[in-house]
Structure 1
Amino acid sequence: MKLSKLSPPRQLHGASILEKINNIFYEFNEIFIKKEGRPYLNGKFIFFNISTKYKGRSFSYPERFMHACSIIEKDTHTMFPCNNDISYELCHNKCQCNQALDEFQVINRGECLYRLARIHWVPEVIELANQKDERIRAWSQNETDSKKNKIRKHYIRYECGMDDFLIIFKEDWRNKTLVKYDFITAFPIFLKHNKEQYDKNYAKFKKSTVVTTVP
């Protein structure tokens, strides 16, 4: 019996990788990208950037959707996130950006079917956060982005049984008032050192502000 309250990963249907992505995108568009289906977080609006343009290119999907269902190639990734999962068998790029679909190569990432099959967890985790579920850990921290701008991010992590999922937002403050959350990305956590780091960040938040640098 599954302990987690999250629904099962989606089955990926389609004769090609693009068809599989299209099918999941259609659902995610209805339940989160469209404002009509998107939940609020703690009574605040969640902004999702629907732009399909990035560095002068036009994509088939919003860049934020592409980010959430893809993975960056890193030497520190010493294991596949999809080990013992059907998405490994279906994957064509095996976490190598130069083997990814062309549009994903532009953003220096590879499409990740493991993440894709779980992207529908985004609104589910937000609803659990709104309900103050005991398995939710939420925290904010001050960070510095790649352009040295100071920003404040909000993290929501749901961890239960086999499911460990994180959503990241940027907080939008105006006149010392939090007005909305900007969706950055979301993904299942699979590396031990990432799990430990998020544990530490949450523990530090309970005591003080965490200042880190955005990778």
Structure 2
Amino acid sequence: MRALLFASALALFAACEPTVQIDYLEGVTFALEPTPRACVPGLQAATETVPSTPPPEDEGCDVPLVTRTQGFWKNHPCVVDGEVGGVVLVPVTLGAGLTFGSAAEVSAYLETPSKGGNGQIILGHQLLAAKLDVAAFDIGRYVFADVDGDGALETVDELIALGDEAFDSGSDYDQKRLGAVLDHLNNAGDAASLTFDPACGGAFD
């Protein structure tokens, strides 16, 4: 009887024990308004000359960030394979060698559950969505977030490079941190309108 009471008490204690929540975005600074790097004087790479005059209109400085989430890419294989939108987005590779050659493979991977909060799968889902965003909407040059705390905002392309590195050899924490940043990216422009009808009809303007 005592053993039973002791086991019950332990179970009650475990149920009441608070769960530690980790803020993977702690210390990350996001751009107030993501825009192409060339359109923001002072954010050019060290080897570039900061322009003294505004960039020409054809730089696309007034084009808002357009993204879609992993849910969109999972459920719109006709966009991934180029049937809709006119741009074939596969093959696409995560890290050094996990390549998806078809829309069906993309959808299957995005449906893979992150068993026990697996950091690589969590990052992989967001990284894959971000790469499809870049291929479809040409957002790689947009400055978006400072993840390393050096005071400089990384572009989407630079964040993806960090994501590839973490996917291959990062710690579980680093994978989840980059996954959280890319999740923020994939949602940042999700409300922006598309230049095509994603319901398997239409094409890019």
Structure 1 length-normalised TM:
0.24
Larger fraction in helix: 2
Greater CA radius of gyration, 1 or 2?
2
